[in-house]
């Protein structure tokens, strides 16, 4: 299998700088992004999988990929999240605009990061987006 790579540019919510208590990083319902992760069974309530990622130093991190689907069970949420990343983000000293790079080669998951410049400002308009992208290798 070929290595796949996705990148998330961190927002203030992702790094905890807003003081919010969100449950992990939102993963948009984009098939190219979702196909990076193992498929979750939507017939189950809030299905999840725990994934072991290894960083550049050989340290293992356990992240959870969750489909919060309680909207299908008379609730309101219908979103994918990548959780249990706070410790990695803090230990790496990552901030807004930095990137978390997730790689996958078969069943082997890797995590790394890159420092980037702050969000792009054009005049008085801040350009926003989901912060995710799929890299073609």
Per-residue pLDDT of the chain (137 residues; tens, 9 = 90+): 578 999 999 998 888 877 776 678 999 999 999 999 999 999 999 999 999 999 999 999 999 999 999 999 988 999 999 999 999 999 999 999 999 999 999 999 999 999 975 555 555 555 555 677 777 65
Residue partners of 76: CB distance under 8 A and separation at least 6: 70
8 Å CB contact between 8 and 63: no
Query: What is the pTM assigned to this prediction?
Result: 0.82
Residue partners of 97: CB distance under 8 A and separation at least 6: 9, 10, 116, 117, 118, 119
Q: Which domains does the chain have, with CATH numbers?
A: 4-135 (2.40.330.10)
8 Å CB contact between 52 and 62: yes
């Amino acid at each position: 299998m070929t290595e796949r790579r996705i990148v998330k540019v961190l927002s203030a919510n992702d790094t905890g700088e807003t003081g919010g208590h969100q449950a992990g990083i939102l993963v948009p319902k984009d098939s190219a992004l979702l196909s990076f992760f193992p498929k979750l069974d939507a017939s189950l309530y809030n299905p999840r999988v725990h994934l072991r990622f290894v960083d550049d130093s050989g340290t293992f991190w356990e992240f959870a990929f969750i489909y919060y689907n309680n909207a299908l069970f008379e609730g309101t949420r219908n979103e994918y999240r990548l959780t249990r990343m706070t410790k990695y983000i803090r230990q790496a000293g990552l901030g807004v605009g930095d990137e978390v790079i997730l790689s996958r080669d078969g069943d082997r998951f890797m995590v790394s990061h890159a420092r980037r410049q702050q969000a792009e400002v054009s005049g008085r308009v801040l350009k926003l987006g989901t912060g995710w992208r799929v890299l073609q290798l």
